[in-house]
Amino acid sequence: MEEFNGAVSHVLVSSEEIDEITTRLAAKISKDFEGKNLVLLGILKGSVPFMSDLMRKISLPAELEFMKVSSYGAGTVSSGKLNIHLDVLREGLENCDILVIEDIIDSGRTLKMVVSHLYEKGARSVKTCTLLDKPSRREVDFTPDYVGKEVPDYFVVGYGLDFDEKFRTLPYVGIPDFAFNK
């Protein structure tokens, strides 16, 4: 366990700060979605810890959905392509006010395409909430509705975020030593 944690010695967002972020965002979401049919839609797998903490602080009834996606953008296909590994498993989104929950926004391609996809499926409204945002990395025009924290252009792990499927279970967000020292 010590070795596992030791590989991420620079903490960028502590557990305490995450707690403050989820409290602040949940209060805003609870106010903004009053009277709506809130559906929290998590993007697997990275959003799991954030979504789990956030949902329990939202003081409105909400339904849960998930999608699993990957995107190939710059360098492969200029327009970007959304690969949907798991789509929303329900018929008709006409009465749904969806809040997409994501771990981090980088180029913006993934969430931009997810939002279009959900409108194509008939969603009444689609908003987005991300724990972290790296605005300096944006490649497409996309602005999330709720942001936990803007971060500089470091590769980060923990609290859902992975490097090669590792580090998702850390209770904080940190910069792995290999990314911090380079």
Active site residues: 106
Q: Candidates 97, 161, 170, 174: give the one binding ligand IMP (CB under 6 A).
A: 161
Give min distance, CB of 105 to ligand IMP, in A: 5
Q: Kindly indicate which of the ranges 1-9, 10-18, 21-29, 106-114 contains the residues binding ligand IMP, using the contact rule CB under 6 A.
A: 106-114
For residue 148, the partner it binds in ligand IMP, Mg ion, none, with Cβ less than 5 to 8 A by kind, is none
Q: How far apart are CA 114 and CA 117, in angstroms?
A: 5
**Residue among 158, 150, 171 at smallest CA distance from 15:** 171
Q: How far apart are CA 114 and CA 82, in angstroms?
A: 8
Give min distance, CB of 159 to Mg ion, in A: 12
**3-state SS class at 97:** strand
Q: Kindly indicate which of the ranges 21-29, 32-40, 54-62, 154-162 contains the residues binding ligand IMP, using the contact rule CB under 6 A.
A: 154-162
Residues that bind Mg ion (CB under 5 A): 46
